[in-house]
Structure 1
Amino acid sequence: MTPTRKEAAVVRRRFPTLAVTALTAIALTACTAGKENAPALGAGRKPSGSASTALPAASLELWHGFTSPGEVKAFEDAVAGFHAKYPQITVKLVKGVQDDQITQAVRGGKVPDVASSFTTDNVAQWCKSGTFQDLTPVIAQDGVDISVIPEASRAYTEFDGKRCVMPLLADAYGLYYNKALMKGNQPPKTLSELAELAKKLTVRDADGNIQVAGFVPSFQYYENVASHFAPVIGAKWYKEDGTSAIGSDPAWKGFLRWQKELVDWYGYDKLSKFRKSLGQEWSADHPFYKGKIAMVLDGEWRNAMIANEAKDLDYGTAPFPVADDRQELYGGGFTSGTVIGVPKGAKNPQAAWELVKYLTTDTQALVTLSNAVRNVPTTKASLESPELKKDANFQTFLDIFAHPSTSTVPSSVSSSFNQESFQEFMNHWEAGSVKDLDAGLAEVDKRLDDKLKLSGS
């Protein structure tokens, strides 16, 4: 599948090349290729015990997408904790793996025992097709308390009654603001406040060209995609029957009108010229670092990037402003994250599940990964751990992630298509190409519903 705009950016950041480099984290024992008629997860299995002798000796292979030295080292350290608990199990780590490699491996019958992914939009199809095995039975057998994971992360790791992956780390989205450019103003809490402050903080030259933008409302700018805005405006993606709700939900219409008014205030051509002049999102030339934009929507990882690329920047973070008529949503936001599971055909599924369970429920493992990667850990205990490194700016995103109004895109086998189609429409809308909003959104609904019929969902 094609990743969403944000996920594609993260993939580019974490995959500088397409080469897959193997390394051994705990032992030099290599795993053999997958065998035919591999045992099914949970078949003839008894609940795992606490003793290390509860599992037979095994060699596991785990594929993950991390590539930077610090991230890879953190994964090694987390897996080392598992090996200490189960010394009879060795784990070989393979870094830099992308989703299509996992899918192809399952089709070819040569699969790892465990695989992780950055792209949650793939989960529904993986669960439906059986690419990843259903963990529901073993979760029940082992008495794993899923409620320790916030509801939003539980939502993006299951589909149609199957939990085929577990959440490993999460992303949360909020508002970053440049304290100097804010000129003493407090971060806005509603969209109307955001628009008013954006206008107040914008600086133009004598010809009206934008020199500094209070906020860039363009849907073609970095993280400004529909999925990231939906939770703060209370918008729905689907109706109860699974068909598109975009055209009938007034929240989307209100938001699109708010956005277009602000785009028109800047001037579409002026805003486009300014946007195209800005530095790349994943570089040290990011316009937020350079004082070109006062407020931006971004994920929690930006804190770590600022520490590395703009350490002298004086900035703050806050929840993103919400729709004026949905102020009870303030404090929440959008979330997605890394997922991990046991692929179909894994030759050691029982030991593989123990590794997945350890990495996703053990507090120290999650804290180790979070401290290195600077993503949000995904259990309540890890969020509250005194060993979790956090300052006020990172704490904002821990609070957003734990907030009851935080949500994600509901699981659907056509999730990526739906988001991309709507994004295309929004680009036309801000450019002024859509003359009838109701008719345009109705056409979006039809396109999405036609795709739903083709997918057989």
Structure 2
Amino acid sequence: MRTRPGRSRLRFRSALIVTTAGVLAAACTAGGGGASGPAAAPGADQAVTVQVWSNFSDRELGIVKEALDKYHGKHTNITIDNQGSQDDDKITQSIRSGNPPDVAISFTTDNIGQFASSGAWQDLKPYIERDKYDLDDIPKAVLDYTEFNGNRVALPMLADVYGLYYNKDLLTAAGLSAPPKTTAELLDYAKKLTVKNPDGSIQVAGFLPQMGFYAFKPQIVGTMFNAQWVDKDGKSSLGKDQGWKDMFTWQKELVDFYGWDNLQKFTAGLGQEYSADNGFHAGKVAMAIDGEYRTAFLADQTPGLNYGTATLPTSKPENHGGGYTTGTIIGIPKGAKNPGAAWDLIKYLTSDTDALVGLANGLHNVPSTKTSLSSPDLKLGDNFKPFLDAFANKNLTSNPASTIGDQYLKIVSDFGVSWQTGTVPDLGKGLADLDKQIDDAKALGK
């Protein structure tokens, strides 16, 4: 779902985008549920204009328009005002000013805790219960990132799933016949696939373990080690969970294999993540973690690359088959003028198989219901299949929603940067310190 840097859901932001008091003060008009129940959809003879805001633009906005036009064809009384290039900040500002769109589409799942706890997005539960919306058709990990503390303020509209990309020619040259399934194998493959120049510098990297580079992010890599973010009481558990210790130890072994200075010099010479000279595209990186959307980049920018895809390697074989997921979310902002019509459109975009398949084919993303995964109309190619399989797997995971948004992810990522450079003397103490930082930040964010 990322077709350029501006689409990145995994970028870190230091400031919270939702100011709770400000949003609630401005969001005191129409709501989803209440004493009178959820708003009704407009009658067939009632002309309504529904304003939809998203951060889609250019070709992608056109793909969304196709889906909206099909909805309009079934509901000719409902005109849709489809506005792109509207990010979460703009949506939040519109709520604060009392003039929000009817439907908000966000690429930033990490903001769901703020949307829910502040009341910025309306509770969809009354609509879901009234219309018997089938939540069971959505994987649990996806349900988790579209609600907060039982407050469902969003539904998924397409998903990103992360897996392993590998250069088939480089694997064959190294005598490797299949992609790695375990993290131990990934470490071994990375060393075997690495080619160094006579001076010891890196010519080809088997796999890049540099925190924050491309898609090497704690929430994705942590999935490979079944690392748990919180304990049963909702407290940060990095210092107590063995998965995090295993992940950082594994990372450091590979960093030390390359040498930190060597690794820095090598990655400094690679192309940007979304450019045609991305390290994997250029054949300078043999294996890489990335989302399903990379298949579209490769088809467009490097059609001759002989590559394959697989689900993420895991530290334990019993956890294999899943992966990390995030995605586009859609909801009704507080103060929406036409909440009943907005819900009817949201229901269509998130549960109608034809609509989801059309969007998935056009945007090269994973459709977000179990039913749509098996549609014969999906035309996404063989290298897309592992992402569909991972999305349907019981081991699919995501990171938890929080009132502090992605601040806790930045805290862990910053630690990972220090750890990989060798400036953290005690891993256990460092992870325990992270727990205090995160829990303190959550306490302030309440």
Q: Residue 295 in 1 paired to residue 291 in 2?
A: no
Structure 1 unaligned spans of 5+:
1-5, 14-34
Say which SS state the counterpart of residue 439 (structure 1) adopts. Answer: helix
Question: In structure 1, how many angstroms separate the alpha carbons of the residues matched to 2:243 and 2:281?
Answer: 32
TM-score (norm. length: structure 1)? 0.90
Residue 185 of structure 2: aligned partner: 193
**Aligned equivalent of 1:11:** 7
Does residue 174 (structure 1) correspond to residue 176 (structure 2)? The answer is: no
Paired position in structure 1 for 2:131: 142
Report the residue type matching 2:118 in the other structure.
Answer: S
Q: 1:209: which partner in 2?
A: 201
**Maintained 8 Å contact 1:120/1:336:** yes
Deviations 1:13-67 (A, max 9, x none): 9xxxxxxxxxxxxxxxxxxxxx997432245357969xx9468321110001111
1:247–1:444 contact (8 Å) kept in structure 2: yes
**1:151-166 matched pairs, under 5 angstroms:** 151-166=140-155
Contact map agreement 1:175 1:297 (CA 8 A) in 2: yes
Q: Which amino acid aligns with 2:182?
A: T
Task: Give the Å deviation of 1:81.
Answer: 1.8
Counterpart CA distance in 2 for 1:176 and 1:215 is 10
CA distance 1:363–1:126, shift in 2 (3 Å): same
Q: Separation in 2 of the partners of 1:438 and 1:233? A: 16
**1:99 offset after TM fit, Å?**
0.5
- In structure 1, the partner of 2:278 is 286
In 2, Cα distance between equivalents of 1:449 and 1:37: 31
Residue in structure 2 matching 1:126, options 102, 115, 119: 115
CA contact (8 A) 2:255 2:420 kept: yes
Cross-structure match for 1:19: none
Q: Quote the residue 2:361 is aligned against.
A: 371
Assess if the C-alpha contact under 8 Å between 2:61 and 2:84 holds in 1: yes
Q: How far apart are 1:12 and its partner, in Å?
A: 6.2
Where do 1:79-98 residues align within 5 Å?
Answer: 79-98=68-87
Q: Distance in 1 between matches of 2:144 and 2:278?
A: 32
Please give the per-residue CA displacement for 1:248-269, whole angstroms capped at 9, x wherever unaligned.
1011001111110111011111
Structure 2 equivalent of residue 26 of structure 1: none
Counterpart of 1:41, as a letter, is G
Contact kept, 8 Å, 1:127 with 1:159, in 2: the verdict is yes
Counterpart-to-counterpart distance in 1, 2:419 and 2:54: 38
Alignment CA distance shift 1:347-1:438 (3 Å): same
Query: What is the alpha-carbon distance in structure 2 between the residues aligned to residue 385 and residue 48 of structure 1?
Result: 31
Shift of 1:160: 1.4
Q: Which moved more, 1:38-47 or 1:374-383?
A: 38-47
Aligned partner letter, 2:218: A
Q: Tell me what 1:41 maps to.
A: 32
**Residues paired across the two proteins, number:** 425
1:436-451 matched pairs, under 5 angstroms: 436-451=426-441
Provide the C-alpha distance between the structure 1 equivalents of 2:80 and 2:221, rounded to a whole number of angstroms: 39
| Structure 2 residue 65 is the aligned partner of structure 1 residue 65 | no
Which residue in 2 is equivalent to 1:336?
326
* Aligned with 2:387 (options 397, 402, 423): 397
Alpha-carbon contact 2:112-2:405 (below 8 Å) kept: no
Tell whether the 8 Å contact from 1:215 to 1:295 is kept in structure 2 after alignment. yes
Residue 85 of structure 2 aligns with an amino acid whose one-letter code is G
SS, match of residue 397 in structure 2: coil
Q: Give the corresponding residue for 1:309.
A: 301
Q: Structure 1 residues 136 and 260 mapped into 2: Cα distance closer, same or farther (>3 Å)?
A: same
Deviates more, 1:176-185 or 1:345-354: 176-185
Shift in Å at residue 330 of structure 1? 0.8
8 A Cα contact 1:55 1:351, kept in partner: no
From 224, 247, 272, the counterpart of 2:216 = 224
Q: Does 1:427 align with 2:423?
A: no
- Check conservation: 1:7, 1:119, Cα contact below 8 A: no
